[in-house]
Amino acid sequence: MREKLAGVPFSITSYLFGGSCFLCRGAARALLCTHCDADLPRLERALCPRCALESPGGALCGRCLTHSPAYDATHAALAYDFPADALVHALKFRGELALAPLLAGFLAPKVRAAAVDHVVAVPLSAERLRTRGYNQAVEIARHLRRDALELALCERTRDAPPQIELPYGERQRNVRGAFRCTRSLEGARIAVVDDVMTTGATLEEVARTLKQAGAAHVENWVVARTPLHA
Ligand SMILES: [Zn+2]
Ligand SMILES: [Zn+2]
């Protein structure tokens, strides 16, 4: 029985990917071959607990000390670098939804023990959701602490130009007031899931909105973290 169950994921991935690695198309018994899996830029070095950028000894970084973010912590699994960026991109823009459990799996060990009441995903606007057909953050969140998942807790009130099209300095202004909580969150501890954290402007605005609704603690759970550009 146990062997049969263990064989299920392999048969599904073989069916979807023909037993070849999603990245290099070499032979693989899972979505990624062992080489590509080993090549992933896992974030294992000391990170700032607040923003997940590299920080000596894992201390609170200078940026967070001088400009305290609205969120209290960030957990990130991978650096947003090749080949992690290719996986995130394929999930986000090419509808490769089978990558969601894989990407969530890298993050799961870091958030398993987190003391949170609710898990939300960064919402897309209704319009963007219609065009894309799914929200990649939701797809990832489904595989993390399903028991605490509350998708309707936070909404996107308006569409803004995609952050990627804007200079870093304008991203915070672009998302200002873009989210709304659907109920009071007095004293709640919330985790916010997203695929990538770049400047953190979107997550900052989500955290600010959640705190305004009474949340006591907000932490980000992101698959990939972009290192700061000089
Ligand atoms: Zn490979
Ligand atoms: Zn920091």
Q: What is the pLDDT of residues 78-122, one digit of tens each?
A: 999 999 999 999 999 999 999 999 999 999 999 999 999 999 999
Mean pLDDT across 55-63: 95
Band (229; pLDDT cuts 50, 70, 90): low
Q: Which of 131-145, 169-183, 189-203 shows the lowest per-residue confidence on average (mean pLDDT)?
A: 169-183
Q: How far is the CA of 161 from the centre of ligand 2 (A)?
A: 26
To the nearest whole number, what is the mean pLDDT of the chain? Answer: 89
In this prediction, residue 147 carries a pLDDT of 85
Q: How far is the CA of 220 from the centre of ligand 1 (A)?
A: 29
Mean pLDDT across 65-72: 96
Instruction: List C-alpha distances in Å: 207 to 55, 151, 176, 214, 216.
Output: 22, 15, 11, 11, 10
Q: How far is the CA of 227 from the centre of ligand 2 (A)?
A: 11
Segment 31-48, tens digit of pLDDT: 999 999 999 999 988 999
Q: Which ligand is nearest to the CA of 39?
A: 1
Q: How far is the CA of 50 from the centre of ligand 2 (A)?
A: 5
Band (183; pLDDT cuts 50, 70, 90): very high
Q: How far is the CA of 219 from the centre of ligand 2 (A)?
A: 13
In this prediction, residue 161 carries a pLDDT of 67
Cα separation, 57 vs 47, whole angstroms: 8
Torsion of CA 8, 96, 52, 198, to 10 degrees: 180
Beta strands in the chain (DSSP E): 73-79, 118-121, 154-156, 179-181, 189-197, 217-225
Q: How far is the CA of 198 from the centre of ligand 2 (A)?
A: 13
Q: How far is the CA of 137 from the centre of ligand 1 (A)?
A: 24
